[in-house]
Structure 1
Amino acid sequence: MSTPLKLVAFSKEQPARLLTIYLINQGINVEYQHSGNDYAHSVMLLELSDQIQAKKIAEEFVLNPNDVKYQTAAWQSGETVNLTPVKSFSAAKALYDLKQAPFTSSILAICLVIYLLAMIGISGPYFWLKIQPIAILIDSGQWWRLLGPALIHFSVLHIAFNMLWWWSLGKQIETTFGINSLLMLFVFSAIVSNASQLLVSGPNFGGLSGVVYALVGCVWWLGWLKPSWGLSLPKPIIGFLLVWLVVGYLDILPVNMANTAHTVGLICGCVFAWFLVTRAKSVSTQ
């Protein structure tokens, strides 16, 4: 038997058990496993030869867990698994999640505060963080402005999109690899993507989307390079984000897109995933 491989992990027990039952019903050797982290309920693949089929089924389940075929499989096996409706809001759960990922939470809070201050007319943080042409940066020495655009946003849709992806993916990376890894990815991708956008189109841009695309690239490539770590994105989500990246270059949207920052951020995330895997291999051989 092969070393068990984490196929997918959930924050609740019911969907993990439901998927486990369905996979077994399809002749795939898996088991349910509980751990102590945020996504504590895992489906473990016991035979690597079933990996391709199992990943396809898992992706379909994540997209539509309420499909009747999953509950039917549970009934046929003699078990009933009811998916518990997610509560709309729980202050205690929200506070717990924030404490589990302090760096992810901090960037989220900073971006929201800066945006809300701008909405009531306090635009000082915008001017202090706005990136400047390279020549001015060299003269002023205000190198923090290379990070600055990642923290400023210009509309509700802009900040909502970026904060959703930052929280979802950043929390996974921080709880899996620790705060230092997410900090390095944030600084690396923000500086490189912002500097690239500056050189291509000038200083009039902002947003966390370059870093968000770095998170996407990192999780995407980790799912490919090291699937046993349990981090991955469904193929439809990857496809949507890549298509959105291409659409930005077509100049058909009513808003200006920081296309260079998005592309360079994606590349930074892929490179960082390779770095994490290489570092882990180096440590394991020592």
Structure 2
Amino acid sequence: MRRIGEFDQEKSALKFWSFLKGQGIDSTLEKDDDDQKWSIWVAEEDNINRSIEELKEFLADPEAKKFISIATGPMEKAKIEQPEESPKPKRQGFKEYKLREKWASRDRSSGTLTLALIITCAAVYLLSGLGSNTELVGKFFISEKLDGRLSEFVAGEIWRIFTPMFLHFSFFHILFNMWWLHDLGSQIEKKKGPKHFISFVLILAAVSNLTQFWMEGPAFGGMSGVVYGLFGYIWIKCKYDPGDGFFLDPFASILIFGFLIYGFAGGGAGVANWAHAGGLLVGLAWGYGSALRWNLGKS
């Protein structure tokens, strides 16, 4: 969710918010009790740029026909939700959301694509005999050969740069990765949209898998490279673009960074440390680029 602008007058805020709802753009209107301003928040990343352009048009000419024709539809149906402690009477017109309350009671259910990835990983884990069926596992490796040339990929098996993310070799391995995939992936999918999310996951998988392959060979698997990328993205966004609404527990940051350091320090035999590092760097860069573009007013 992203704040695209604010109004000094409630009437103008309601009018523009109503217009967005009429256009099918999922949005909310929030009143700032401190300075009596009204903020417009848009839920889906895919609608941000369009909403900003519409806002510019509205500010230039709020009486334009396009803003008047549907301005009364959603306003008459929606209702404001006031905090219980507020002595003010309820007023009709819009639904108000408090961000602190939203973050505190955030939706913890899995996104659709996130859940599909979790189910796929669980299915591969079970079908591969908990990672012990070498014949099946080999089909998911980035390569089954040790020539360092990605022979299968070059021959047309392009999917192999992605499929190692579905492999897991122990209960705790898959539990750790699926837990973080659910928590981090669902946030990104719901706030940025499914197309953004799956594209991001595939890029993270490709980069982390190729990094691990180039550094240590083809015998590895797991979703952790993707997880580290998702973590890096959200960690940066929380620091430099908190208005995007992501949440990350401070202890989680210590745990994930600590495990990365522990792995490179020699702990945890068989850990795909380079996949973790590759995914993390991509996530950090992607998150920083997103935050920078927004702070510069370019997105």
Task: State yes or no: 1:204 paired with 2:261.
Answer: no
**Cα gap change, 1:156/1:139 in structure 2, threshold over 3 Å: closer, same or farther?**
same
Task: State yes or no: 1:172 paired with 2:187.
Answer: yes
The answer for unaligned runs of 5 or more in structure 2 is: 1-33, 40-82, 86-94
Q: Of the candidates 285, 293, 296, which is equivalent to residue 271 of structure 1?
A: 285
Task: State yes or no: 1:103 paired with 2:113.
Answer: yes
Which residue in the other structure is 1:67 paired with?
none
Measured in 1, the distance between the counterparts of 2:136 and 2:159 equals 12
Measured in 2, the distance between the counterparts of 1:246 and 1:271 equals 19
- Give 1:211 deviation, angstroms: 0.3
CA contact (8 A) 2:153 2:160 kept: no
Which residue in the other structure is 2:90 paired with?
none
- Give 1:196 deviation, angstroms: 0.6
Measured in 2, the distance between the counterparts of 1:34 and 1:155 equals 46
**Cα gap change, 1:112/1:135 in structure 2, threshold over 3 Å: closer, same or farther?**
closer
- Give 1:118 deviation, angstroms: 1.3
Q: Deviation string for 1:32-86 (max 9, x for gaps)?
A: x964xxxxx7317xxxxxxxxxxxxx9xxx8xxxxxxxxxxxxxxxxxxxx9xxx
CA contact (8 A) 1:111 1:151 kept: yes
Q: Of the candidates 114, 118, 126, which is equivalent to residue 137 of structure 2?
A: 126
- Give 1:180 deviation, angstroms: 1.2
Between stretches 141-150 and 107-116, larger displacement belongs to 141-150
TM-score (norm 1): 0.63
In the alignment of these two chains, the number of paired residues is 208
- Give 1:122 deviation, angstroms: 6.4
Measured in 2, the distance between the counterparts of 1:139 and 1:180 equals 27
Q: Deviation string for 1:118-150 (max 9, x for gaps)?
A: 127866652322111434135422121111111
**Cα gap change, 1:124/1:227 in structure 2, threshold over 3 Å: closer, same or farther?**
same
Q: Deviation string for 1:229-280 (max 9, x for gaps)?
A: 1213233321221111011012233x31101110111111111212333554
Give the number of the structure whose alpha-carbon radius of gyration is greater: 2
TM-score (norm 2): 0.61
Calculate percent identity across the aligned residue pairs: 27
**Cα gap change, 1:138/1:241 in structure 2, threshold over 3 Å: closer, same or farther?**
closer
Q: Of the candidates 167, 170, 181, which is equivalent to residue 196 of structure 2?
A: 181
- Give 1:4 deviation, angstroms: 9.1
The residue type equivalent to 1:152 in the other structure is L
Which residue in the other structure is 1:42 paired with?
99
Between stretches 231-240 and 221-230, larger displacement belongs to 231-240
Measured in 2, the distance between the counterparts of 1:285 and 1:158 equals 40
CA contact (8 A) 2:153 2:161 kept: no
Q: Of the candidates 256, 259, 279, which is equivalent to residue 241 of structure 1?
A: 256
Q: Give the root-mean-square deviation of aligned CA atoms.
A: 3.4
CA contact (8 A) 1:217 1:266 kept: yes
CA contact (8 A) 2:215 2:274 kept: yes
